[in-house]
A and B are shown apart, each in its own frame.
Chain A
């Protein structure tokens, strides 16, 4: 309830916010909520992947723009994909990304998250919000790239940087290899296989 209220207040704010002002609030809200829930939930601490996936689905995924992410990762070949292929690519890539994020989250023990900087990206409406996950030993860098579909809509995450690695950009080169080998259908097939075998392990 409070979250929805906060979201609607935030959306109203972003209507006339300077670039980035709403974005870092959103990131802070997501990070703090997710980490606090992960720390408090015993089942998650024990590594229950189902619970982690559920947590990520409810708290993080509503704020992610999967279509833009999939488009960016697939690259120019996206234009040649049919609507059905696009749907499949998006669904499989979403499953993969949720798994990546959940895998990282399952290793949270007693860390805290700090939003360190918010930077606009020159020449676009994007914003990069930098955070640090601090705990024992070295701090881990975790950045979010956000964009708005239109001036009065909410910020959505379109890429995540874990320790220096922009995930969507990284997957772009992974996808490029697969697209070269088997085209769009080959890529879909590989993604489906990868998700199936990951679900089993």
Chain B
């Protein structure tokens, strides 16, 4: 009996903790921590501005990667191999549709009436004409999904994001978004069913479905990131900031291009004739040598 009652009580007590956390953040106690908006400025110099908990984060990231490699990724790959694409699409659509209900609520909580109504239309269209969410006719009608979660709602209400935080199992987050996540779980798909076995099955299905959708992205990440941890962190923070501004964040100042400048001479005894004047950016990088002209 204790195991069954434990989970909901844990969430309730955590909810209390969430409220305390929100109060702390709202009182701008974290004024010294840069908001996620400064990541792009940070990239000009120290790679760890905006990530004061980097040591802890890297360890948890490593743990998550290990867990992913051992259990989650193989499960997602098996899911992808066994189930035909249409079935996986159907599952993802149903889960997405239920998630859209919470997104709609968040749009309204943030005061975005127009988008909230559109998302509401999307949910209704998909539920009524999409066989309960199995199909996605709303996207074809132009009602694209615009996800929102409680972390973004908190951001809209004025909470600073707090430092970057990697959560065990859950992955990249920030202090504010972690708090928001706990509220998100109250509205999660698993709350629609009763019984622990059903709840865990639904949550597991959600996890595997999302992981399978992300398989090409993680494969790409392996190929193009020099340091996976910082790539994931900067990507996550940039995307969160972008989502907060619904795709139109204030433009950052132009990249500080160091500007066209002559390369240092290859050897100390190099002739000084090869230096071009600093001019507008040109595509040729080799300083032009005066070519001997032969006039016919």
- Chain A residues within 8 Å of B, Cβ to Cβ: 65, 67-68, 71-72, 74-76, 78-87, 90, 96, 99-100, 103-104, 106-107, 117, 119, 121-124, 126, 128, 130, 132, 134-139, 141, 145, 149-150, 158-159, 163-166, 168-178, 190-191, 194, 197-198, 201
B270 to chain A, nearest CB (A): 10
Mask for B232-272, Cβ within 8 A of A = 1, else 0?
A: 00110011111100011101111111111101101000000
Whether the Cβ atoms of A198 and B255 lie closer than 8 Å is no
In the assembled complex, which residues on chain A have CB atoms less than 8 Å from the CB atom of B139? 134-137
Q: Are B40 and A166 in contact (CB under 8 A)?
A: yes
**Are A164 and B242 interface neighbours, CB within 8 A?**
yes
Q: Are A71 and B258 in contact (CB under 8 A)?
A: yes
The residues of B that contact A65 with a CB separation of less than 8 Å are: 281, 283
**Which residues from chain A contact B249 at a C-beta distance below 8 Å?**
164
Q: Is the interface of B mostly helix, strand, loop or mixed?
A: loop
Give A72 to B254 CA distance when docked, in angstroms: 10
**B222 with A201: CB separation less than 8 A:** yes
Please provide the 6 A-B residue pairs with the shortest distance between their CB atoms, ordered closest to farther. Answer: A164-B242, A198-B223, A173-B43, A103-B220, A164-B239, A124-B254
The residues of A that contact B241 with a CB separation of less than 8 Å are: 164
Q: Quick check: A138 and B145 within 8 Å, CB to CB? A: yes
The interface centre, meaning the residue of B45, B243, B258 with most chain A CB atoms within 10 A of its CB, is: B258
Which residues between 50 and 103 of chain B lie within 8 Å of chain A, taking CB atoms?
89, 92, 96
B263 & A190 in contact (Cβ 8 Å cutoff): no
**A111 to nearest B CB, angstroms?**
10
Question: Given the complex of chains A and B, what is the CA–CA distance between A107 and B216 in angstroms?
Answer: 8
A173-B47 in contact given A67-B281, A68-B257, A122-B251 (Cβ < 8 Å): yes
A residues less than 8 Å from B260 (CB atoms): 71
B242 x A141 contact (CB < 8 A): yes
Q: A127 to nearest B CB, angstroms? A: 11
Q: Which chain B residues border A168 with CB–CB below 8 Å?
A: 255
Give 20 CB contacts A-B under 8 Å.
Answer: A67-B285, A72-B258, A76-B258, A121-B253, A121-B254, A124-B254, A136-B139, A137-B92, A138-B146, A149-B282, A163-B242, A165-B234, A170-B231, A170-B234, A172-B43, A173-B47, A173-B234, A176-B46, A176-B47, A201-B219
Q: Give the bracket for the number of chain B residues in contact with chain A.
A: 35 or more
- Per the 8 Å Cβ criterion, residues 1-51 of B in contact with A are 40, 42-47
Q: How distant is the Cα of A75 from the Cα of B263 in the complex, in angstroms?
A: 14
**Contact (Cβ within 8 A) A159 B255:** yes
Q: Give chain B nearest CB distance to A85 CB in angstroms.
A: 8
| Additional pairs, 20, CB under 8 Å, beyond known A82-B266, A84-B266 | A67-B281, A71-B260, A103-B224, A121-B253, A123-B253, A126-B254, A139-B144, A139-B145, A163-B239, A164-B238, A164-B249, A165-B242, A166-B40, A166-B252, A171-B226, A176-B43, A177-B47, A190-B226, A194-B223, A197-B223
Asked whether any CB of chain A lies closer than 8 Å to the CB of B190, the reply is no
Residue in A90, A149, A169 whose CB lies within 8 Å of B43: A169
Closest to A103 in B: B220
Q: How far is the CA of A107 from the CA of B204 in the complex (A)?
A: 25
B197 within 8 A of A: no
Cα A51 to Cα B264 with chains together (Å): 39
In the bound complex, how far is the Cα of B248 from the Cα of A117, in angstroms?
Answer: 10
- Residues of B near A87 (CB, < 8 A) are 285
Q: A82 near B224 (CB under 8 angstroms)?
A: no
Give min CB distance, A161 to chain B, whole Å.
Answer: 8
- Find A194's partner among B45, B226, B256 (CB 8 Å cutoff): B226
Give B169-202 interface residues, CB cut-off 8 Å to A.
Answer: none
By a CB distance below 8 angstroms, the chain B residues around A124 are: 254
Q: A76-B258, A82-B264, A168-B255 are in contact. Are A100 and B285 (CB under 8 A)?
A: no
